[in-house]
């Protein structure tokens, strides 16, 4: 397939997933789910194939929770800077369980990360796996959380090199401050490791420092 068509198809896929991720949660307003939407800023560090750079990105997230503890959500980040473009989209299904004064949340997740490196070229990996998070309240208005996950990436792409993918992993930590206006302010850090081609030792690693404001509707 010509490179131009590959790029167009990737952008169309990201756009379709983003539209679905943003608008489908709002349908829960007519049902039993309670949606929470977040908007914020993401400073993305990219380390891949000789690329070491940072760029700013806009961050949008959503989570719809149900009375039985199940929830599903999405996260979308779009940015550009220093000659790079960045798109990341992920979706999760999870179950909240009380544990030791906090909440443990097993989850399954899937997503796609794409970094444009100029001249119509890009690095890309889709992934799917499982993980868990733990959130613990420090008083009434502060909530700290950690999470991690592992799985397999696929549909990987590196210009001019055949790719296979491999074991991916990610980890994050965050702090949420509740009672700030009608919502909460969340700040945190997330690291993600996506192997693109193990034979050439090329990985797509990202470290994200983020902040977002969330409102439950």
Domain with 75 in it: what CATH number?
Answer: 2.40.160.20
pLDDT at residue 1 in the model? 41
pLDDT at residue 31 in the model? 58
pTM: 0.83
In the three-class reduction of DSSP (H, G, I as helix; E, B as strand; rest coil), residue 59 is classed as strand
Q: Cα separation of 183 and 217, whole Å? A: 10
As for how many domains the chain has, the answer is: 1
Q: Cα separation of 32 and 11, whole Å? A: 33
Cβ proximity of 204 and 196 under 8 Å: yes
Contacts of residue 100, Cβ cutoff 8 Å, sequence gap at least 6? none
Per residue of the chain (217 residues), give pLDDT as tens: 444 444 444 445 444 444 444 445 444 443 578 999 999 999 999 998 888 999 999 999 999 999 999 999 999 999 999 989 999 999 999 999 999 899 999 999 999 999 998 777 899 999 999 999 999 999 889 999 999 999 999 989 888 888 888 999 999 999 999 989 999 999 999 999 999 987 778 899 999 999 999 999 8
In the three-class reduction of DSSP (H, G, I as helix; E, B as strand; rest coil), residue 3 is classed as helix
**Residues of the domain holding 112:** 3-216
In the three-class reduction of DSSP (H, G, I as helix; E, B as strand; rest coil), residue 200 is classed as coil
Cβ proximity of 82 and 54 under 8 Å: yes
Cβ proximity of 34 and 69 under 8 Å: no
Cβ proximity of 81 and 106 under 8 Å: no
């Amino acid at each position: 397939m010509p490179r131009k068509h590959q790029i167009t198809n990737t952008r169309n896929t990201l756009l379709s997933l983003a539209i679905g991720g943003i608008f489908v949660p709002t349908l829960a307003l007519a049902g039993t789910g309670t949606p929470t939407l977040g908007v914020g800023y993401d400073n993305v560090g990219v380390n891949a194939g000789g690329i070491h750079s940072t760029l700013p990105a806009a961050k949008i997230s959503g989570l719809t929770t149900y009375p039985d503890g199940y929830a599903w959500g999405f996260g979308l980040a779009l940015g550009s800077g220093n000659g790079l473009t960045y798109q990341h989209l992920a979706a999760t299904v999870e179950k909240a369980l009380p544990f030791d004064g906090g909440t443990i949340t097993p989850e399954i997740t899937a997503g796609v990360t794409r970094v444009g490196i100029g001249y119509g070229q890009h690095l890309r990996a889709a992934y799917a796996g499982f993980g868990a998070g733990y959130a613990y309240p420090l008083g009434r208005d502060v909530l700290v959380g950690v999470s991690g996950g592992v799985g397999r990436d696929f549909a990987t792409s590196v210009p001019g090199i055949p790719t296979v993918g491999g074991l991916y992993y990610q980890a994050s930590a965050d702090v949420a401050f509740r009672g700030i206006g009608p919502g909460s302010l969340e700040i945190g850090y997330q690291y993600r490791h996506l192997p693109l081609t193990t034979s050439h030792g090329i990985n797509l690693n990202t470290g994200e420092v983020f902040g977002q404001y969330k409102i439950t509707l």
